A = this chain, B = another copy of it.
Amino acid sequence: MAAPYGLEVSRSCEECALKKQGFFCNLPQPALKTLDAIRLTNRYPEGAILFVEQEAPRGVFVLCKGRIKLSMTSSEGKTVILRILQPGEVLGLHAVVSGRPYQATATTLEPCQVNFVRREDFLRFLSQQSAAMLHVAEQLSNSYEDACEQVRSLGLAHSVSEKLARFLLQSSAGGEQTTQGIRVRMTMTHEEIGQAIGSARETVTRTFAEFKKNHVIAVHGSVICIPDRTTLATLANT
């Protein structure tokens, strides 16, 4: 399945092209060519840090393979997970555009393949390929919406159940429909879920237990079944 991919810079990221939303992949041909010439492909082990909060923008990253965690950390070590990025998604765009520091820290959750374009190269590319600018704006809009969703979750919910229900609804967006409801593979630990919804690990465990007891969800190993989305939506107050 996973063909060996060389490190040489070659045709535009086949991995990405497979995904439905290979953001920079649906550009006009000449733009793609230019982009290919200035991008570097890197591979990172699990736990690698692409950039950290407050760092000056070095460039943009496009995730080709693997998953990356985008998080913010307070001085006392408390962490908020902004989102988990899937292949095809872009990182660091806003910092490169605005010239201001990265807002979050990007950490690989598994071995990753990542394309990188240096800031100067990327800005030059943008000034030449004006069509690409629209993609950038769309990307930034996506990021903004994600952040808004996070604010909604953290700011408007008044219980952990509500936030967890919201979180499960979001996570189940990509799940497959079966006769027992929607099935999703939950790759995050309770600890990480807690950081995503702003609560302690133990509380996540307890709330999960409560959901199971009330048959809102069913858990089989790392797979979660949601028999009825609407009950979850009720809990989420969406």
Residues of chain B contacted by A138 (CB below 8 angstroms):
97-98
- Interface segment among A142-150, A173-181, A207-215, A222-230: the answer is A142-150
Most buried by B among A103, A157, A198: A103
**Could you tell me how many residues of chain A have their Cβ less than 8 Å away from some Cβ of chain B?**
41
Bound CA span A151–B78, Å:
13
Known: A94-B144, A133-B137, A155-B198. 19 other contacts (CB 8 A): A72-B152, A74-B237, A76-B158, A76-B237, A80-B151, A80-B152, A80-B155, A80-B156, A82-B151, A97-B134, A97-B140, A98-B142, A133-B133, A137-B137, A137-B140, A140-B141, A144-B144, A147-B147, A150-B155
Can you offer 14 A-B residue contacts whose CB atoms are under 8 A? A72-B156, A73-B156, A74-B156, A80-B156, A94-B144, A95-B141, A97-B140, A98-B138, A103-B148, A130-B133, A140-B141, A140-B144, A143-B144, A150-B155
